[in-house]
Chain A
């Protein structure tokens, strides 16, 4: 997300540095022995993250030092991402050995350009709603919101990470829990000629290996918005988990099985998701759990892999 025009401190947007910083990083990545083209998504994320740090500091710096500051922070980010080969290897081994269950959050779709929660305020306003409560009360506004969101998603391209997940399903990825409304994984499956059983309503499930969509689905838009019956779960609701999923993991013994748990691009801020899924899978019976996200602060954590999903999944999933 571009950092906006900052009045007072600089007379220009930090975005003016994007191009020169990108050029400098390309050279440095080459020096590290990587192909800059392959690392383009990492580079873009790194630059945005660097601009956030510089923007947060609120220090008036001279222009050239400011540019160098963005460049250096971005390079640290890239360097940090590339220095995690041990973590990649460990995650890959775990997935290969025990297979995995993927929990996918908004971060993965953000990389394809789908707006994050904080950017949805404008869409709310566009649909005449003040907030998400307004959507829950007013069915018409709610329906408009879903329809508009679908239009936005239709314009987005499937990302490399969506394709990688589909490619590894169901051989190495047993279940996919997708908390996003978009249909990018489904579209990736279609593009790859694969069929995925999708569960987007809380109904009894017989067979195994699914794509679970607890929070709603743009391919299942209804006039009413009832949880578990195609209704969408909005950001301030604390999440939602289908009862049929809880039954499913008991029935299939998944809850007692050994697998690697991978959380991609999810902030873990929703209570129901955390209690019923994350805590359940990660702690009840300790399982190797890896998180993939953009938080460089967590670089030192053994099982937190920093970097954009497009790049990291390529490193950790057995089928490329």
Chain B
């Protein structure tokens, strides 16, 4: 459920870059209120059959480019919305399935909820909250993007939701400025990877990671990939680090992420250890700090 909500949120963010994270959060939490955009979505939902969907797509092809993109986006949204609607917890008022008449009019027996229906909105928020709070998918533990979405939806909004291009731009900037990627940057990349299979995006990710590895090798005189597999032959096969399948770009990306996370963890551990050895921090502080570091590294380390 939570993954789906997050998926919808991200998709919304991608399709409607002008939407703030707050607006997107509202979309998720209140599921469907009468904001104009959601009305549009709901209206487009009135295409219940395959034939009608195909017709809409055809209409989109014929329409001017900008309009076509808009319609396509709506169609894409609908499929997400439909899935979401079926998985939403029941509320006092559920909507009837809209139908479309021959002359193209949308007929819906149960009216859309009114924006001023505050009670209903609260009920929905209460109903959705446990799904987000208690059923966090594994992607959250592995540092995936979901936590960035669920957090603003429930707590405070720190910043706008980042789309794939923004993520790439951000992490690209880091390495281009001569800095190495942090755990946060890797988390962002991980977030990006979980919702894209676009080869152009993936190859760009790969080049960012390559740049980071080159920087590390220059700065710290270490071959992180070699370091990743060091001593693996001395371990039982079932706990050895997996090697990437040839030609699989995602595997190659994961290999590089593993190497970076491992190096970053080692580097941070060594820095903390030096602080302890120099007497700047106590042994307990050293153990606690390095433990935290290991937990984060382990969370974002691709399995």
SS class, residues of chain B in contact with chain A: helix
Q: Which residues of A contact B239 (CB under 8 A)?
A: 12, 16, 63
Q: Which residue of B lies closest to A56 (CB)?
A: B287
A residues engaging B (CB < 8 A)? 12, 16-17, 19-21, 23-24, 53, 57, 59-69, 72-73, 75-76, 79-80, 83, 296-297, 299-300
Given contacts A59-B295, A61-B294, A65-B298, contact A24 B230 (CB under 8 A): yes
Give complex CA distance A63, B266 in Å: 14
The 6 A-B residue pairs with the shortest CB-CB distance, nearest first, are A20-B231, A76-B273, A297-B283, A72-B269, A61-B298, A19-B234
Q: Which residues of B contact A67 (CB under 8 A)?
A: 231, 235
Q: Which residues of B contact A64 (CB under 8 A)?
A: 228, 241, 258, 262, 301
Given contacts A12-B236, A20-B230, A20-B234, contact A61 B295 (CB under 8 A): yes
* Chain A CB within 8 A of B203 CB: no
What are 30 A-to-B residue pairs whose CB atoms are below 8 Å? A12-B236, A19-B231, A20-B232, A20-B234, A23-B234, A24-B231, A59-B291, A61-B294, A62-B298, A62-B303, A63-B239, A64-B228, A64-B241, A64-B258, A64-B301, A65-B262, A65-B265, A65-B297, A65-B298, A66-B294, A66-B298, A68-B265, A69-B290, A72-B273, A72-B290, A73-B290, A76-B277, A296-B283, A297-B284, A299-B283
Q: Which residues of A contact B235 (CB under 8 A)?
A: 16-17, 20, 67
* Chain A CB within 8 A of B34 CB: no
Give complex CA distance A83, B274 in Å: 11
* Chain A CB within 8 A of B282 CB: yes
Give complex CA distance A60, B294 in Å: 10
Least Cβ–Cβ distance between B266 and chain A, in angstroms: 6
Of the candidates A17, A64, A79, A299, the one having the most CB atoms from chain B within 10 angstroms of its own CB is A64
Give complex CA distance A32, B302 in Å: 32
Least Cβ–Cβ distance between B223 and chain A, in angstroms: 13
Contact with A along B207-248 (1 / 0, CB 8 A): 000000000000000000000101110111001010000000
Q: Which residues of B contact A69 (CB under 8 A)?
A: 269, 290, 294
Give complex CA distance A13, B301 in Å: 21
* Chain A CB within 8 A of B286 CB: yes
